[in-house]
């Protein structure tokens, strides 16, 4: 075991953050360069690019819980998370290398003079493999932080993760803007390989995990049952139904036309059922109508609160550009530049705050209270955009305020969640937790898109963001701080081979 791991020094927390940083950087490359590359180099149209991008949410929904469950039970290559981090890192690096060279793959496998022959199929396969590689590793790169830290150091582990990962995210913006997307892709290959392979073999995983139990809950319920895991999906049932419907609608052309107009917006019967499910499941979770054990019910509340956060966040990421065009009245090119600078500011704030500020507050007042405060600050930032963001400078300032909340969104919920679940099934629960991100993203990308498109005033973009973040903040009030005690100790590093 490395000396820095024995001492749990800051250097070790930085090392522990690198695998998650590698996957975050790969995701940044995908967001920054995939559509640009498919359009400019390979000539795919918007519909075809949409098909390629559809692989992402589906891969996340399916892959992360499965990989999480498998990694909980396996011990291979000296670790339970190590094999998946290594596999994901290698695949991500290879697929990034393939992206600018699809025509070479085309020549190898397709004997045709047509430069477009089979290109869409190859692009979908490469993009799907790339996305699967990220999803295969995302879960273990976060779970390993929980595995190698005690609850006392958990918030420190995840805030370090966001600081290191966020700093590299800022670097990705700079590289893409200054040196171009092609350089960014090839640079990303090196990051994906080095930042997964080297740390994976330097970090020593514990063979036996410490079982830390909430003092508010009887010890007999510490182990998660199948019922607990099924019940954990209750707060996401409305989102899950909508996600299944959207996948069938977009991929197989299934359209439901029957429905009603509510407040000027058309909702089909499936969407109305989803809203009804969401309302009923929210009441059931907050009042624990299913009589779930304390730990399971707390996890449900976290999923519920976090899901509303991501409706607002994804709405911002997808539609902020249109706010700049329609409200601040910027031309396409200028709006694109302003959008990039605004997200650069947001990323910079979110990279600086976690270790320097959030971790210290979490140690003093608790992780839940710190995160709750950040969520309300984020809601105020969105409201500030609506009230004051009619010119570029105030818009930048308000996105900086939003960055305070974003710093917490991508760090503290992981630490909070990890204190509420069976430590021996961390990978599985981390995969389920990811559904509270992916499923609301589908709602924001599709239904919120319809709402925004049908509105003459594009300020509704940040009205949606402010309302959903406010709801999320209210729901976080129902999550308790964990009071844990360790009932079985394991070495902080490796405990067996």
3-state SS, the chain, equals: CCHHHHCCCHHHHHHHHHHHHHHHHHHHHHHHHHHHHHHHCCCCCHHHHHHHHCHHHHHHHHHHHHHHHHHHHCCECCECCHHHHHHHHHHHHHHHHHHHHHHHHHHHHCCCCCCCCCHHHHHHHHHHHHHHHHHHHHHHHHHHHHHCCCHHHHHHHHHHHHHHHHHHHHHHHHHHHHCCHHHHHHHHHHHHHHHHHHHHHHCCCCCCCCEEEECCCCHHHCCCCHHHHHHCCHHHHHHHHHHHHHHHHHHHCCCCCCEEEECCEEEEHHHHHHHHHHHHHHHHHHCCCCCCCHHHHHHHHHHHHHHHHHHHHHHHHHHHHHHHHHCCCCCHHHHHHHHHHHHHHHHHHHHHHHHHHHHHHHHHHCHHHHHHHHHHHHHHHHHHHHHHCCCHHHHHHHHHHHHHHHHHHCCHHHHHHHCCCCHHHHHHHHHHHHHHHHHHHHHHHHHHHHHHHCCCCCCHHHHHHHHHHHHHHHHHCCCCCCCEEEEECCCCCCCCC
Where are the domains positioned within the chain?
3-211, 217-479
Give the count of alpha carbons within 13 A of 447, CB side only: 23
Task: Compute the radius of gyration of the chain from its Cα atoms.
Answer: 22
pLDDT confidence of residue 484: 55
Please give the model's pTM, rounded to 2 decimal places. 0.83
Assigned CATH class of 217-479: mainly alpha
Query: Strands 265-268 and 259-262: what pairing?
Result: antiparallel
The separation between the first and the last C-alpha atoms of the chain, rounded to the nearest angstrom, is: 12
Q: Which of these CATH numbers, 1.10.1040.10, 1.10.10.10, 3.30.70.260, 1.20.1250.20, describes 3-211?
A: 1.20.1250.20
pLDDT in tens, the chain (497 residues): 889 999 999 999 999 999 999 998 988 887 777 767 777 777 776 556 656 666 666 667 777 788 888 888 888 888 989 999 999 999 999 999 998 888 888 888 877 676 667 777 887 788 778 877 887 788 889 899 999 998 888 889 999 998 999 899 888 878 877 788 889 889 999 999 999 999 999 999 998 766 655 555 544 444 556 777 788 889 999 999 998 898 788 777 788 888 888 877 889 999 999 999 999 999 999 999 988 888 889 999 999 999 999 999 989 988 898 899 999 999 887 888 888 888 889 989 999 999 889 989 999 999 999 999 999 999 999 999 999 999 999 999 999 999 999 999 999 999 999 888 888 888 888 889 989 988 998 888 888 888 888 888 999 999 999 999 999 999 999 999 876 555 444 434 443 33
pLDDT confidence of residue 217: 52
């Amino acid at each position: 075991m490395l000396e820095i791991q024995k001492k749990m020094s800051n250097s070790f927390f930085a090392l522990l953050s690198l695998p998650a940083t590698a996957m975050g950087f790969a995701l940044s490359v995908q967001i920054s360069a995939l559509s640009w590359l498919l359009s400019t180099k390979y000539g795919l149209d918007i519909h075809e690019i949409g098909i390629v991008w559809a692989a992402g949410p589906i891969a996340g929904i399916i892959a992360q819980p499965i990989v999480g469950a498998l990694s909980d039970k396996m011990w291979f290559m000296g670790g339970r998370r190590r094999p998946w981090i290594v596999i994901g890192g290698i695949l991500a690096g290879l697929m990034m290398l393939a992206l600018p060279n699809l025509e070479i793959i085309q020549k190898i496998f397709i004997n045709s003079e047509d430069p477009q022959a089979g290109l869409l199929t190859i692009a979908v396969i490469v993009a799907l493999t790339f996305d699967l590689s990220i999803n295969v590793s995302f879960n273990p790169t976060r779970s390993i932080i929980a595995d190698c830290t005690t609850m006392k150091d958990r918030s420190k582990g995840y805030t370090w993760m966001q600081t290191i990962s966020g700093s590299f995210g800022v670097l990705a913006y700079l590289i893409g803007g200054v040196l171009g997307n092609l350089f960014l892709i090839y640079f990303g290959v090196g990051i994906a390989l080095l930042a997964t392979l080297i740390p994976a073999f330097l970090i020593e995983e514990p063979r036996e995990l410490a079982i830390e139990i909430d003092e508010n809950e009887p010890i007999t319920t510490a182990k998660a049952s199948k019922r607990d895991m099924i019940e954990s999906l209750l707060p996401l049932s409305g989102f899950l139904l909508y996600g299944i419907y959207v996948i069938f609608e977009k991929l197989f052309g299934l359209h439901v036309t029957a429905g009603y107009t509510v407040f000027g917006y058309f909702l089909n019967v499936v969407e109305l059922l989803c809203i009804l499910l969401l309302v009923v499941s929210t009441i059931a979770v907050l009042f624990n109508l299913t009589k779930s054990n304390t730990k399971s019910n707390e996890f449900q509340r976290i999923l519920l609160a976090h899901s509303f956060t991501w409706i607002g966040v994804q709405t911002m990421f997808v539609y902020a550009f249109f706010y700049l065009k329609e409200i601040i009245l910027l031309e396409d090119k200028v709006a694109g530049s302003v959008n990039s600078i605004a997200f650069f500011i947001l990323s910079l704030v979110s990279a600086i705050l976690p270790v320097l500020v959030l971790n210290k507050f979490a140690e003093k007042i608790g992780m839940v209270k710190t995160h709750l405060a950040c969520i309300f600050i984020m809601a105020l930032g969105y409201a500030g955009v609506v009230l004051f963001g009619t010119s570029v400078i105030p818009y930048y300032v308000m996105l900086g305020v939003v960055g305070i909340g974003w710093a917490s969104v991508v760090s503290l919920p992981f630490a909070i969640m990890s204190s509420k679940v069976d430590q021996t099934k961390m990978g599985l629960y981390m995969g389920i937790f990811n559904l509270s991100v992916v499923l609301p993203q589908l709602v924001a990308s599709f239904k919120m898109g319809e709402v925004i498109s049908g509105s003459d005033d594009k300020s509704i973009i940040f009205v949606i963001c402010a309302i959903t973040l406010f709801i999320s903040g209210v729901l976080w009030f129902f999550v308790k701080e964990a009071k844990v005690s360790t009932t079985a100790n394991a070495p902080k590093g490796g405990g067996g081979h």
